[in-house]
């Protein structure tokens, strides 16, 4: 295992990209990334991986998918290939959706995010903590990644939208994105007995679509020390502010395109989005401390570029990663955005990479991506 990781590190360290010029050279970095994808996936024992890269649109135009990668199997036993339309349980990626929903609350309903979280979640364990702090994983003004505390934002969304969290996710995100995120489902449990009550929140056609998608969810796998995959199970889990969404790489690409679209402010305004994607700052003992998070997203500066990212990890089942490079505007060119989206049916995109401590550049996938595109 160590030898394989050494080979990966050596390959990344020696990766050289010549200068880009014409259209063939513009495609070259994508070809190189694709060349590295399969070996990287094999070296962490991934059964299946679905990935896309989205390029943000220039002024007056929409973004688009500029590359896709489909590796391995969504179901090893039945040899069903993983594609960008394969549904995955994406865990903590749901937190970015929560950030967007609270942004909608601020834009449409004038919601004040500096309110005390106990106004909505009375049993929250830390006194004098604002909604803003919970969104930034900074309950005491210092960064600490804690999905359990983050789930306390569920009643915040429900209070301001006057809908259940599931309905708000479906109405304000899954259906508002253009085209709609039709292979995304607000809760893995909607195909299980424990989700029966939640199904009553949706009409018959929507329920039928959700259950059809859930029958195709990638099979989860546990990877042992010798990189052998064995079938595992997803936890019995619904949907809340911290996790539970089921979606595809293609649908998340449409989500990324919608957020990057400067022509139509859907689902939230540009000014709110900019605040969401900027490092949160809190005063502690008279000192301003910048968090490695914005509001619902991580925010990291690397080589003069801003990285806006989020991840999900369901132990021994699945993992997910979204990393957006935001290149600052210059006198000669506007701000540019390039987004990598990766979904896997094992923990290989997250396990062991210290993502919970805001260290996204420890991922070999991210290292290659940044080396090629920054």
d(CA 305, CA 283): 25
- Position 354 scores a pLDDT of 95
pTM of the full structure: 0.92
Q: How far is CA 12 from CA 9, 85, 227, in A?
A: 5, 29, 21
- Position 70 scores a pLDDT of 96
Q: Map tokens 């990324």 to a residue.
A: 256
- Position 297 scores a pLDDT of 98
* Residues whose CB falls within 8 Å of the CB of residue 265, separated by 6 or more in sequence, listed in order: none
- Position 5 scores a pLDDT of 47
Taking the CB of residue 356, how many other CB atoms lie within 10 A of it? 16
Judged on CB neighbours under 10 Å (0-12, 13-18, 19+), 353 is buried
* Residues whose CB falls within 8 Å of the CB of residue 36, separated by 6 or more in sequence, listed in order: 11, 12, 15, 368
Per-residue pLDDT of the chain (374 residues; tens, 9 = 90+): 443 444 444 445 445 444 444 454 456 789 999 999 989 999 999 999 999 999 987 666 789 999 999 999 999 999 999 999 999 999 999 999 999 999 999 999 999 999 999 999 999 999 999 999 999 999 988 999 999 999 999 999 999 999 999 999 999 999 999 899 999 999 999 989 999 999 999 999 999 999 999 999 999 999 999 999 999 999 888 999 999 999 999 999 999 999 988 777 667 888 899 999 999 999 888 899 999 999 999 999 998 899 999 999 999 999 999 999 998 766 666 678 999 999 999 999 999 999 999 999 999 999 999 999 98
- Position 26 scores a pLDDT of 58
- Position 331 scores a pLDDT of 60
- Position 61 scores a pLDDT of 75
Closest listed residue to residue 361, CA positions, set 315, 279, 305, 277: 305
Residues 372, 357, 41: CA angle, nearest 5 degrees: 45
Cβ(164)–Cβ(201) below 8 Å: yes
């Amino acid at each position: 295992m160590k030898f394989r990781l050494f080979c990966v590190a050596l390959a990344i360290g020696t990766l050289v990209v010549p200068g880009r010029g014409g259209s063939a050279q513009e495609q070259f970095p994508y070809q190189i990334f694709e060349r590295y994808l399969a070996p990287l996936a094999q070296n962490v024992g991934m059964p299946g991986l679905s990935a896309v890269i989205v390029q943000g649109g220039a002024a007056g135009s929409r973004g688009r998918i500029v590359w896709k990668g489909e590796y391995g199997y969504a179901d090893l036993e039945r040899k069903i290939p993983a594609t960008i339309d394969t549904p995955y349980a994406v865990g903590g990626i749901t937190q970015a959706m929560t950030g967007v929903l609270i942004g909608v609350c601020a834009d449409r309903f004038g919601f004040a995010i500096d309110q005390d979280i106990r106004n909505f979640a009375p049993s929250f364990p830390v006194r004098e903590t604002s909604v803003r702090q919970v969104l930034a994983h900074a309950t005491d003004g210092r960064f600490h990644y804690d999905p359990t505390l983050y789930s306390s934002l569920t009643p915040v969304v429900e209070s301001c939208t006057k809908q259940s969290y599931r309905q708000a996710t479906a109405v304000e995100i899954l259906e508002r994105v253009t085209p709609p995120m039709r292979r995304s489902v607000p809760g893995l449990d909607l195909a299980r007995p424990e989700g029966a009550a939640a199904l009553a929140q949706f009409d018959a056609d929507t329920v039928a679509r959700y259950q059809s998608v859930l029958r195709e969810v990638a099979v989860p796998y546990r990877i042992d020390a010798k990189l052998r995959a064995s079938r595992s199970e997803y936890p019995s889990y619904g949907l809340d502010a911290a996790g539970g969404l089921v979606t595809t790489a293609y649908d998340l690409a449409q989500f990324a395109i919608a957020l990057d679209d400067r022509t139509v402010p859907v689902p939230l305004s540009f000014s709110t989005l900019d605040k969401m994607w900027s490092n949160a700052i809190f005063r502690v003992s008279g000192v301003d401390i910048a968090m490695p998070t914005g509001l619902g997203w991580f925010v990291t500066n690397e080589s003069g570029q801003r990285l806006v990212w989020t991840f999900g990890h369901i132990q021994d089942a699945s993992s997910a990663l979204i990393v957006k490079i935001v290149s600052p505007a210059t006198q000669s060119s506007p701000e540019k955005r390039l987004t990598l989206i990766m979904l896997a049916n094992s923990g290989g995109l997250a396990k062991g990479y210290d993502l919970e401590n805001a260290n996204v550049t420890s991922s070999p996938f991210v290292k290659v991506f940044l080396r090629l595109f920054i």
